[in-house]
């Protein structure tokens, strides 16, 4: 028999813990976002369709991006038990400096199109979190203004070799003068990828006011208010070079770039140099042998060649061939801190996030980028603790395998028990 009684008022009061209503709408929205996927949903609601699709979309059938994300979802972790990891150290040394987390912000063009604070929000949030920020050649904030937004932190500059080489050399000189410590030479854009969502949306830069964009604007008045009341969207570092937006994009995609360009850039650039967009073992070896400071295994977030190799899958093969001393980085498809932990376990020295950053930006400007970084940081720390490692250096390939469509190929072999665990 259940014994019943009248509810006691003090006990009832104890149960009633009403949260104070957060009056700041942005804060309320962002606090409700627990994952990068949640930020994506908010971003989609708040951004005009054409701008959201430009960011969210990829090339052709978008298979490269979907596969890269699937590869991360198919990770299986192998934790060690009874290995205390009360506090974890997530910092790394990368390209001659420190980063508090094993990821940085990837270069993205047109960033103020997504949300008006654009690169300034990204650079300032990166600086506050102690991670590097990369400015794109096709950025919508100038080299000098990014420096002003992140004066004490690390800024990297992504270089497209333009058809008119002098333009690129001039940009590199300006980035060096502004204290950018690393140049990221992107090599996977001999021509532009076929972004079909953009074609279908009639996407243009700057956005045009058509009947459909006006209808689309009705539920998103703030984006349009920002767009119409802030400085013109343009390639801010290229304003003095002349040419329309279309001509400049055209010029940035040059099918004639070659290793000779890399040699010229290396002779001009005083800092570290990284090649981004490497997609096979032979090229990785060749670049490391040629003395570049690092490479980024990347398929440009699936925005160039569709059905390109999955960078996360390529990673252990490249590390095996070029050795663990080389600075191998990876991007494309990262949506969770666990993806980053797995990449480090398989030998990546660092990772880059593109859309994860942009979803945060679209969801809430600077505060949204802070939220992206906070979500990834918490996921990285928790994953490390659950694996039983307290520093990134303790992560090893044995911590990660890849599910083969959920069917184990064979029972995992008995593993060597680490000495610390035996003690």
Ligand X SMILES: Cc1cc2nc3c(=O)[nH]c(=O)nc-3n(C[C@H](O)[C@H](O)[C@H](O)COP(=O)(O)O)c2cc1C
What is the Cα–Cα distance from 79 to 83, expressed in whole angstroms?
A: 9
In the complex, which residues of this chain contact ligand X (CB under 6 A)? 55, 106-109, 136, 138, 158, 186, 276, 298, 300-301, 303, 331-334, 352-356, 358
Cβ of residue 95: shortest distance to ligand X, in angstroms?
Answer: 16
- Point out the residue whose Cβ comes nearest to ligand X: 354
List Cβ neighbours of 18 (8 Å cut-off, separation of 6 or more).
Answer: none
CB of 352 to ligand X, least distance (A): 6
Please give the Cα distance from 354 to 55 (Å, whole number).
9
H-run or E-run covering 365: helix 355-387
Q: Nearest to residue 122, comparing CAs of 344, 358, 423?
A: 358
Which residues are CB-neighbours of 310 under 8 A, at least 6 positions away?
Answer: 64, 67, 68, 71, 299, 332, 333
Q: Across-strand partners of 273?
A: 183
* Least spacing, CB of residue 418 vs ligand X, in Å: 32
Provide the token pair at 268: 């001009």
Given 78, 300, 313, 317, which residue is catalytic? 300
Judge whether 300 counts as a catalytic residue.
yes
Phi first, then psi: give them for residue 132, nearest 5 degrees.
Answer: -75, 150
Query: Between 88 and 262, whose beta carbon lies closer to ligand X?
Result: 262
Minimum CB–partner distance for residue 209 and ligand X (Å): 22
Least Å distance, CB 337 to ligand X, is 13
CB-based contacts of 240-243 (< 8 A; 24+ apart in sequence) = 241/164, 241/167, 241/170
Catalytic residues: 300
């Amino acid at each position: 028999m259940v014994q019943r009684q009248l509810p006691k008022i003090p006990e009832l009061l104890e149960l009633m813990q009403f949260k104070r209503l957060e009056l700041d709408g942005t804060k309320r929205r962002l606090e409700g976002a627990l994952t990068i996927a949640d930020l994506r949903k908010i971003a989609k609601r708040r951004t005009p369709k054409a701008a959201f699709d430009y960011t969210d979309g990829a090339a052709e059938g978008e298979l490269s991006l979907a596969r890269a994300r699937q590869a991360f979802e198919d990770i299986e972790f192998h934790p060690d038990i009874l290995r205390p990891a009360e506090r974890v150290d997530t910092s790394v040394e990368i390209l001659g400096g420190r980063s508090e987390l094993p990821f940085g912000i990837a270069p993205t063009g047109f960033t103020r199109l997504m949300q008006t604070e654009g690169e300034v929000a990204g650079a300032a949030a990166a600086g506050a979190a102690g991670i590097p920020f990369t400015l794109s050649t096709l950025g919508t904030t100038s080299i000098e203004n990014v420096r002003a937004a992140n004066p004490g932190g690390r800024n990297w500059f992504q270089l497209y070799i333009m058809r008119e080489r002098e333009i690129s050399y001039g940009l590199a000189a300006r980035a060096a003068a502004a204290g950018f410590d690393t140049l990221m030479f992107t090599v996977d854009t001999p021509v532009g990828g076929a972004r079909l969502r953009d074609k279908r949306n009639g996407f243009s830069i700057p956005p045009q006011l058509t009947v459909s964009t006006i209808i689309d604007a009705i539920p998103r008045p703030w984006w349009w208010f920002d767009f119409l009341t802030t400085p013109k969207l343009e390639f801010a570092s290229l304003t003095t070079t002349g040419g329309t937006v279309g001509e400049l994009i055209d010029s940035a995609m040059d099918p004639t770039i070659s290793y000779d360009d890399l040699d010229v850039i290396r002779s001009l650039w005083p800092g570290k140099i990284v090649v981004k967009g490497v997609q096979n073992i032979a090229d990785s070896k060749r670049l490391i042998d040629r003395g570049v400071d690092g490479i980024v295994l990347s398929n440009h977030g699936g925005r160039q060649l569709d059905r390109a190799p999955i960078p996360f899958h390529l990673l252990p093969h490249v590390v095996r061939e070029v050795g663990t001393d080389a600075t191998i980085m990876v991007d494309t498809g990262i949506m969770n801190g666990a993806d980053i932990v797995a990449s480090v376990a398989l030998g990546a020295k660092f990772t880059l996030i593109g859309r994860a950053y942009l979803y945060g930006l679209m969801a809430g400007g600077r505060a949204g980028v802070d939220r992206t970084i906070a979500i990834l940081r918490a996921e990285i720390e928790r994953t490390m603790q659950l694996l039983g490692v307290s520093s990134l250096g303790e992560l090893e390939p044995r911590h990660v395998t890849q599910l083969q469509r959920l069917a184990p190929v064979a029972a995992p072999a008995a593993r060597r028990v680490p000495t610390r665990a035996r003690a």
